[in-house]
Amino acid sequence: MSGCWSSDDGEQGSGEQWTTPAAGTLFGMSRVVRGGETIAWEFMRIHESDEGSLIFVAAPSGQDSHIFQLASITEHEVVFEDPAHDFPQRVIYRLTGPGRLLGRVEGEMNGQFRAFDFPLTRDSCGE
């Protein structure tokens, strides 16, 4: 996941950037650009909790941060969840091919299952 990822569905500047893991922590940020304006952003962190489990901490667009616990991990996919959260209840990252990453949030919203995919392609980090 480390590196820069451009949004396949967004305007230029939309996507995610993830640091190289160090000291057991991976930091990330995302940005959504529409009409030349940043309309959403999020700071993220993946690290080991004090209890020893892997967690995903998300702080979207200035809201309070929220913790999602590791639900499953394989070579190509990681799933974090909190069934008690309003939405999403699950955050998923899946490598779908060389230089291809799919971010997905899913869960129930207003009594209906909803899912939003964020297809990403590896980018050069503006270099």
Quick: pLDDT tens for 29-86.
999 999 999 999 999 999 999 898 999 999 999 899 999 999 999 999 999 999 999 9
115 pLDDT exceeds 90?
Answer: yes
Q: Beta strand pairing status for 112-123 and 3-7?
A: antiparallel
Q: Looking at residue 126, what is its pLDDT?
A: 73
Closest CA to 82 of 107, 60, 111, 51: 107
Return d(Cα 78, Cα 92) in angstroms, integer: 6
Average pLDDT over the chain, rounded to an integer = 95
- Please state the rounded mean pLDDT for residues 3-22: 95
pLDDT > 90 fraction of the chain, expressed in percent and rounded: 91
Closest CA to 120 of 25, 21, 8: 8
The pLDDT-based confidence of 3 (bands split at 50, 70, 90) is very high
127 pLDDT exceeds 70?
Answer: no
Q: In the chain, where are the structural domains located?
A: 3-123
* The domain defined by 3-123 carries CATH number 3.40.1180.10: no
